[in-house]
Amino acid sequence: MTPFLAIRDLRTTFHTRQGVVRAVDGVDLDVMPGECLGVVGESGSGKSVTFLSVLGLVKPPGRIESGQIRFDGRDLARLTPTELRAVRGRDIAMTMQDALTALNPALRVEEQIVETILAHDRLPRLAARSKALDMLRLLGIPDPERRIRDYPHQFSGGMRQRVMIAIALACRPRLLIADEPTTALDVTIQAQVLDLIAAMRRDLGMSVVLISHNLGVVAEHCDRVALMYAGQVVETGPTRAIIDRPRHPYTQGLLRSMPVLSDLDRPLVPIPGQVPSLVDLAPECRFLPRCGQAAPECRREIPLLSMGEAHAARCIRVAA
Ligand SMILES: Nc1ncnc2c1ncn2[C@@H]1O[C@H](COP(=O)(O)OP(=O)(O)OP(=O)(O)O)[C@@H](O)[C@H]1O
Ligand SMILES: [Mg+2]
């Protein structure tokens, strides 16, 4: 099957006074038609910057150095800002991690959702308004008739996040990129939001990228998972295979550090050490300083991820 979105060797850097931050450093990722791909990794691993790059939303001092972003027969990395804006409005929608900066502070929530619906559906304004109310209701916003008249700053963080999801879904995108969509939400609302995204996925045949630092949330909702570490994808595969047979020492460590409901007595083992600085990276495996299974050859080469395999790990010990 041809991927819907195919990212190859994507490199995005930030030129700062401290040096060049290699935030995304050779990322390969596929999103298949209709699938939900989970992207998981510790804070700072490059999840957001990868997908901001896909949509041309990286701001200076950040820039895409190289790589391909194939979507619908085009390379998004080569499009003009105007062409990219059309893709963002029509084909791909992204909900930002930081809802407050993503929403327009000067417009009532009503205008922001209704205008988006009207831009995508030929509807009378009243029908668009009632659709907007339905969406807010589905997303668990209490008293939507009153709240829709409010401005974003009058909403709580979790409510703003849901307004942003409503706007993204109102675009009826072919691909939804949801960056930490449920981080600020309590567990019941979290389930409601993820259920709505799943329903839209079924109804519209929409593909979804769900970005989260929580492997548990991702495992429950995604067909496949990609794990990111220090600006690179270190393992990809079907969700079940990743959970049952993790191959990369980082994935194995992440699973050992997570509580499992069925076995709450199991001791949790954190991954020792810290994520490396993304400035002045040595030409060796990024995970080496924290890896309990490293061998001398791990210091001599940067392992690659084989995109030809359904379940692949960026580790020469696994490939060997
Ligand atoms: N404007 C910027 N200037 C300099 N460095 C930046 C900038 N934006 C991001 N970075 C760096 O890029 C790297 C990747 O950041 P990114 O936001 O993609 O991480 P993330 O995986 O989304 O983390 P989180 O889970 O915290 O959202 C980090 O090291 C971050 O410090
Ligand atoms: Mg992020």
Of residues 32 and 266, more confidence is placed in: 32
Domain over 5-91+173-319 is classified CATH 3.40.50.300? yes
Residue that has been written with the tokens 């709580």 in this structure: 156
d(C-alpha 190, C-alpha 143), whole Å: 18
d(C-alpha 91, C-alpha 243), whole Å: 31
d(C-alpha 265, C-alpha 186), whole Å: 25
Average pLDDT over residues 101-117: 92
pLDDT tens-place string over residues 42-83:
999 999 999 999 999 999 999 999 999 999 889 999 999 999
Confidence of residue 189 (pLDDT cuts 50, 70, 90): confident
Residue 320 pLDDT exceeds 60? no
Q: Is 21 in the pocket of ligand 1 (CB under 6 A)?
A: yes
Question: Are 87 and 76 a contacting pair, CB within 8 Å?
Answer: yes
In the chain, where are the structural domains located? 5-91+173-319
d(C-alpha 72, C-alpha 172), whole Å: 17
d(C-alpha 204, C-alpha 284), whole Å: 43
Average pLDDT over residues 260-286: 85
What is the reported pLDDT for 172?
87
The residue nearest atom 27 of ligand 1, judged by CA position, is: 43
254 sits in which H/E element: helix 249-256
262: number of Cβ within 10 Å: 5
Q: Is 47 in the pocket of ligand 1 (CB under 6 A)?
A: yes
pLDDT tens-place string over residues 124-136:
999 999 999 998 9
What is the reported pLDDT for 108?
96
R_g of the chain computed on alpha carbons: 20
pLDDT tens-place string over residues 269-279:
889 898 889 99
Question: Are 36 and 204 a contacting pair, CB within 8 Å?
Answer: no
For the chain, the residue count is 320
Q: Is 237 in the pocket of ligand 1 (CB under 6 A)?
A: no
pLDDT tens-place string over residues 145-154:
999 999 999 9
